[in-house]
Structure 1
Amino acid sequence: MSIRLFRIGQFLCRTFFRLFFRVKVIGTEKIPDNIGVLLCSNHIHALDPPLVGAFIKRPTRYMAKAELFEAPILKGLIPKLGAFPIKRGMSDRQALRTGLKLLSEGEMVGVFPEGTRSKNRKLQKGLTGVGFFALRSNAAIVPCAIIGNYKLFSKLTIVYGAPISMEKLREEKASAEEATEKIMEGIQTLLDEYN
């Protein structure tokens, strides 16, 4: 990952969003500074990843669909921006190992637990991979909600919530599905509160 390239990308994305949308950012102070963070957001548009990462201090490593790493322009760019591939529709052990390694090294990993964009902007069921990360790492689990739409000059709100504790679920040896449900509830709470 090239931090310099990431910072340039962040600046360009911030400029883009401020020029073309009325962006309101809430709760960036809730993101821990110096430990691994699993940043979990709803997914309503292809522009969600740059929006989620544009207004926060820490670089974000995104898990992205493997097809993007084969696209002509993106294949050379997105690895430099810190993204790593996941094969959708199957258990991708390499992606899970990479995510856990990054979290154990104190990085921030951004995921969209729904796995794909929601067509009606309502939160869909989360995939169990996010619960696996939450239970197998000691990372802070930070819920994030994107509210609004991407019509030009309309209002977009991005809310970062307080970390969700996984302590009790880890003690109870809960399933990845249970952990995922708790994370999705955290995202839904933000959507309900700020919508």
Structure 2
Amino acid sequence: MTFYSFAKAVVNSIFRPLYRMEVIGLETFPKEGGVLLCSNHIDNFDPPVVGITCPRPVVFMAKEELFNTPVIKTLVTNLNAFPVKRGMSDREALRKGLAVLKENKVLGLFPEGHRSKTGELGKGLAGAGFFALRSNAHIVPCAIIGPYKPFKKLKVIYGKPIDMDIYRENKASADEVTEVIMNNIRMLLEKHR
């Protein structure tokens, strides 16, 4: 058993009953091929919640600050995360993300770049659109509907993959594609609230 599988089992055993988790839409999640998984971001627990509910292992881009403390660095590295510098173009993180997708793995992103203080969906950063346009990955929107309160229901909704062909053909910009992804997340939030 890998550390990822072990950690997933432990977190799953705690989070599912504690937050009465309901997971919707797994039947449409791609079983193979690269997947760019884009979720809203409302809490520090979002990465483990996506990690335990997604049917495939997820490689997350994580804020660089998490890699500054040796213990946390070891933990997040063993959970398949890699660092990204926030607020600037991080070419190394972009290269690493594209490599993850090319290896037919699941790359997990929170396109807003930080947690929403209000719980409302913020503006997405262009990185999500960059990965969507530069890879042949399936683009899957995900919505987390809280709050994270013990024994209150927490919903995790996986949307159908977004067809990127028209955006690639029309040479859409990374910003435009990010907006499409964010709109898909917004629709999931509105439908399931």
| Deviation of 1:57 (Å) | 2.4
Partner SS, residue 116 of structure 1: coil
In 2: Cα distance, 1:77 partner to 1:50 partner? 12
Aligned to 2:81: 83
1:113-132 to 2 correspondences below 5 Å: 113-132=111-130
Tell me, in whole angstroms, the C-alpha distance in 2 between the residues paired with 1:39 and 1:101. Answer: 15
The aligned residue for residue 104 of structure 2 is: 106
Kept in 2: contact 1:126–1:180 (CA 8 A):
yes
Overall identity of the aligned pairs, in %: 54
Measured against aligned partners, the alpha-carbon deviations of 1:52-99 in whole angstroms (never above 9, x if no partner) come to: 110232100000000101124211111111001000011000000000
Residue identity matched to 1:19: P
* 1:93 aligned partner: 91
What is the aligned partner in structure 2 of residue 73 from structure 1?
Answer: 71
Q: Name stretches of at least 5 consecutive residues in structure 2 with no aligned partner.
A: none
SS in 1 for 2:92: helix
Check conservation: 1:10, 1:55, Cα contact below 8 A.
no
Aligned runs of 1:164-175 on 2, under 5 Å? 164-175=162-173
After the TM superposition, which of the residue ranges 55-64 and 174-183 deviates more from structure 2? 55-64
- Provide the C-alpha distance between the structure 2 equivalents of 1:183 and 1:144, rounded to a whole number of angstroms: 10
Deviation at 1:144, TM superposition (A): 0.2
Q: Return the offset for 1:148.
A: 1.6
Give the aligned partner of residue 39 of structure 1: 37
* Match runs of 1:169-184 below 5 Å: 169-184=167-182
The alignment partner of 2:151 has SS state of coil
1:114 touches 1:124 (CA, 8 Å); kept in 2?
yes
Distance in 1 separating the partners of 2:48 and 2:36: 16
Q: Match of 2:93, as an amino acid? A: A
How high is the TM-score relative to the length of structure 2? 0.98
Query: TM-score normalized by structure 1?
Result: 0.97
SS at structure 1 position matched to 2:83: strand
Report the secondary structure of 1:39's partner residue: strand
